[in-house]
Amino acid sequence: MSAKKLWIGFGVLFTFGIIWYLGFKESDYTITFKVKGATGTIFQGIEEWTDGEQKNNHGNYVVLEKSNYNHIIHNFQFKNELMTYKWEMNSINDSITQVAVSIKDANHSIYNRLTAPFVNTAFKLSQINKIKSFKDGLENHIKNFKVKIDGEGTSKEDFVAYITLKSVMQEKAQKMIRDDGVITGYLGQNAIPIIGKPYVEILKWNQKTEQLEFNYCFPIAKNTKYVEDPMVKFKTIPALKGIQATYYGNFRTSDRAWFAILDYAKRNKIELNTKPLEHFLANPFNGGEELQWETKIIIPYK
């Protein structure tokens, strides 16, 4: 190939590259970073952060698209400013997730694309500071719990008294606390001893709306004689085989272990039935250091 043809080829590629960069590229600027947390933990952090930003800045966040706890796109509008944020989360290993945030300013897109790679413009610096603020807050949250993937595990069969509850994921623990007196009061009034640590058995988990339906369970003797009750029921929780994790921290955020298990399963091409079983091995009413509160969590195979 002659030098002339080679230069023409480079020129064509360069021209198409410029046209794509200025006219078709989805974002003006992309920020990437890594976090020691699961994709779902980061996803929920984004939703909580945008709620806070909306209240503090009196702007308006609108979710345009989200899926599978690893992808979310939203607009932020404040006065005449309209920004689009596209977040992509990719689990690298049991503890690290890579995050890419692509940002587009609807009113100054061409200018930002021409300047952002070379100059610290007001747009570029404000977005770096904004995402850094999010990352710092997320990392402070992650310091409050630990998750260890145990790999394949099997839960034990247990006979339990239970009540069925509904809530959003973020309010599961509060719902348990509010209704704890219903089941423990019944057991106490009927002199039925609790012989083990409580369980939460997830019946339905809508990952789009984050709505849960679950059983709040206390182990009792299998031969217990009991009085029929409209709220308190009895059953055997079967032994489940699946992927298990150990969670240390406040029960309000035990779903962080669910996300870690889902990431592990996705990386290893394992299909799970998304109905986690949580076995709380500590009593939060006794107080103490939250990072010592242990919960065993298993999500069974599909």
Per-residue burial over 269-293, b if 16 or more Cβ lie within 10 Å, else e, is: ebebebbbbbbbeeeeeeeeebeeb
- Greatest extent of the chain over all pairs of C-alpha atoms, in Å: 94
pLDDT score recorded for residue 25? 54
pLDDT score recorded for residue 4? 53
Whole-number Cα distances in Å, 21 to 17, 24, 111, 131: 6, 6, 12, 23
Q: What are phi and psi of 44, to 5 degrees?
A: -65, -35
Q: What is the model's pTM?
A: 0.87
Percent of the chain residues past pLDDT 70, beyond the cut:
90
pLDDT, one tens digit for every residue, the chain (302 residues):
565 544 444 444 434 434 433 444 567 899 999 999 999 999 999 998 888 877 776 678 888 998 889 999 999 888 888 999 999 999 999 889 999 999 999 888 878 888 878 889 999 999 999 999 999 999 999 999 999 999 999 999 999 999 999 999 999 999 999 999 999 999 999 999 999 999 999 999 999 899 999 999 999 999 999 999 999 999 999 999 999 999 999 999 999 999 999 999 999 999 999 999 999 999 776 778 999 999 999 999 99
Task: Measure the CA–CA gap between 34 and 138, rounded to whole angstroms.
Answer: 11
244, 248, 252, 253 alpha-carbon torsion, rounded to 10°: -60
pLDDT score recorded for residue 19? 41
Q: Which of 159, 214, 218 is nearest to 183 (CA)?
A: 218
Q: What are phi and psi of 41, to 5 degrees?
A: -65, -40
Tell me the pLDDT tens digit for each residue of 46-84: 998 888 877 776 678 888 998 889 999 999 888 888 999
pLDDT score recorded for residue 67? 85
pLDDT score recorded for residue 170? 92
